[in-house]
Amino acid sequence: MEISSASSLLLLISFLCSAFFLFFKQHSPRSAPANLAALKSYPVVGNLPHLVKNSHRILEWTTDLIPTSPTGTVTVAPFVFTANPANVEHVSKVRFANYPKSEPIILAIRDCLGRGVATTNGEEWRLQRKAASHEFGTRSLRTFIHEKVCHELLARLVPLLTRASRSDEVIDLQDVLERFAFDNTCSLAFDEDTMCLGGEGGEEGKRFFHAFEEATRLCVERAKQPFPLVWRIKKWLHVGSERRLQEAMEIVHGFVDRCMRSRGDRPSSGQDLLSRFTADGANSDEFVHDNLISFVLAGRDTTPAALTWFFWILSSRPHVSVKIREETKQIRTRQPEENGGKLAFTMEELREINYLHAAISESLRLYPPVPMVPRDCLEEDELPDGHRMRRGWILMYNAYAMGRREAIWGSDCREFRPERWLDEEGVFQPKSSSVFPVFHTGPRTCLGKDMAYIQMKVVAASILERFDMAVYAIVTFKCDRM
């Protein structure tokens, strides 16, 4: 099963772009610290050959390396990989200002995402984060999100899966969920129906979807260049992948600009992010434009990837599906069926679905959509476990490896066991974000966490209530009506 494109963006940029650049950027030829002993260091190039050799499997390679260290941290200069919760807490909260987002990453994706909250640091980031978090923290937005998810689910996703079930069709579930998430995310962002999952018309929305996908892929290709100068020259010459990236971004920017211009000319609920960001005129057009694009990228990619892994896990664990159905059935009995059929779950019902919440969290623990997070080190520092960080190095905390550490989750850490998230009464108990950094931690904690859980619980509960799914290939599924 493929890692999501947002995850690929982070991993490929960090290793194939920054490794070369940062290694030769070191300010002095001082001897390597003791914690480099686990890997052979070569003359002049140091640990760089290890990074190049394993660039195609960085996640698996570093996850295998980390257990060789008693502290859960391994240095492969100029990178430090950690699965130590104390280190995650340190870089994400205690020394937050010393560990900003990686500048090489920001430069590589800025043409796509602009100067939104996802591509800024320092005071610029703080101001944008404050404005965005105010809107994401409102109860009315969560209600609006729930309404949009339920509408898209009942109007498009369930009918699509029903047709597939009746015709005995095998479907690519990840593609279906990506289109569902894109439609839903655009509804939340612009109050626009892009109709990527079906519907009459929708040509503009589908062009937007494909252009967004193309732009993300081309940013990954841009990041594969060993030196930023390569893609910058191609951009200046307007050739090859840089020309295609610019063409894709013209479609993306054009769609967002059109939505912004037409906001006052068409009816709107006033609850979408565009309406919220422009309500009092306090935010600049650039702020609104760039943060809407960042929101679409986050909503389009991570949630469908998480749900795909979730259904893949459940396909080999029917007893978990049975428990989820038993739980949702009990909750359903408290509400009468309307219009002769079962509707999507209400917000009140979602709050009572503890086992499903635990199962989704357990899936995220083992298969986080963004498995590694890079942070630059501005000034030399010592991590809580004793590892040294030099100025200009990159620390990467590995959420994928953390989910597989016995020191954190116990001897059964590689098993899928939702019960680890429940108390004796079966009520969901959240974990510290330092040991479960799937939605990040500290000031950069994901603003869309609540939204993501609402989407995942509505979709998962509604699909499992109606269908059985069997894995036919890596990401293709067959739906059978229950």
Binding-site sequence positions for heme? 446
Which residues lie below 8 Å from residue 305, measured CB to CB, with a gap of 6+? Answer: 3, 4, 7, 174, 369
- Binding site, by residue number, is 446
SS3 at position 409? helix
Task: Using alpha carbons, list the distances in angstroms from residue 87 to 94, 332, 413, 441, 476.
Answer: 10, 44, 20, 12, 38
Beta strands 170-172; 388-389: pairing state: unpaired
One DSSP character per residue, 120-180 reads: --HHHHHHHHHHHHHHHT-HHHHHHHHHHHHHHIIIIIHHHHHHHHHTT-EEEHHHHHHHH
Q: Name 76's bridge partners.
A: 79
* CA 234 – CA 232 distance, rounded (Å): 5
* CA 186 – CA 194 distance, rounded (Å): 7
- Would you say the C-alpha torsion 228, 234, 240, 245 has a positive or negative sign? positive
Which residues lie below 8 Å from residue 403, measured CB to CB, with a gap of 6+? Answer: 365, 366, 368, 409, 413
SS3 at position 42? strand
Read off φ and ψ for residue 372, nearest 5 degrees.
-135, 140
Whether residue 345 contacts residue 353, with contact meaning beta carbons closer than 8 Å, is answered with yes
